[in-house]
Amino acid sequence: MNGRVHLVGAGPGDPGLLTTRALELIAAADVILYDRLIPSTALDGARADAELLFVGKEGGGESVAQEQTEALMVQRAQEGRTVVRLKGGDPFVFGRGGEELDYLRRHDVPVIVVPGITAALGCAAEAGLPLTLRNEATRLCLVTAHLAADAQATDWSGLADPRTTVVVYMGLAAAPAVRNGLIAAGRDPCTPVAVLARGTRPDAASVAGRLDALEALAAQVGEGPALIVVGGVVAHSDPWLAALAAHAPQEIAA
């Protein structure tokens, strides 16, 4: 078997944030298995004879089972083909890249991981939001609220420290649980928060306010994907400064 699989991160949505290595591998691939949230032009450089297979997932929408995706990667590699598994963001940050890596290893398929810019970094940068700040925010925690049906579904107890910036992936629908969980764990209800929806894409939207107003803020940005950023660093961001300039109501003013 001369085939192999590259697990490639495509970044948060802006085609300009695809790495040079990702573009090289897309151009050379025999087979590309791609997710729903890759940049709109990510496949433009693929060979005309490349096999392009959609294997994305969407809650309540078109989805391909993870088991089918993994089986396709192994099958194509065992046929001696060069496979790119193109994933939004970074393969190893809430992207099932670790699961796919383990599966490929169990089937003796050579695999190489190519990192991508994860949403927390790309979307925060677009919003002028520093995730860490010397003497103010000294710890960064990335969590997912994808399975949070209520505030008890996630352990928030270690995230109450005001020097900790919390970035919640897939948290739009779970905004009430995020708010309730963090406040119950001891986070100040007045803590600045930002909701960054569809970051780095043409239809990006962002709002900022206080943690206790998170549910209302989440309702303002429309559909996801979206991140929730919690912490004092939000007060340095463009959405927060814009809200202050617009004389936003009391949910902005601490």
- Among candidate residues 30, 35, 90, 212, the one labeled active-site is 35
Q: State yes or no: is 87 an active-site residue.
A: no
Q: State yes or no: is 212 an active-site residue.
A: no
The string of DSSP letters for the chain reads ---EEEEEE-BSS-GGGS-HHHHHHHHH-SEEEE-TTS-TTTTTTS-TT-EEEE----TTS----HHHHHHHHHHHHHTT-EEEEEESB-TTSSSSHHHHHHHHHHTT--EEEE----HHHHHHHHTT--S-BTTTB-EEEEEE-TT-SSGGGS--GGG--TTEEEEEET-STTHHHHHHHHHHHT--TT-EEEEEESTTSTT-EEEEEEGGGHHHHHHHS-SS-EEEEESGGGGGSHHHHHHHHTT--TTT--
- Among candidate residues 57, 161, 188, 238, the one labeled active-site is 57
Q: Please identify every residue annotated as catalytic.
A: 35, 57
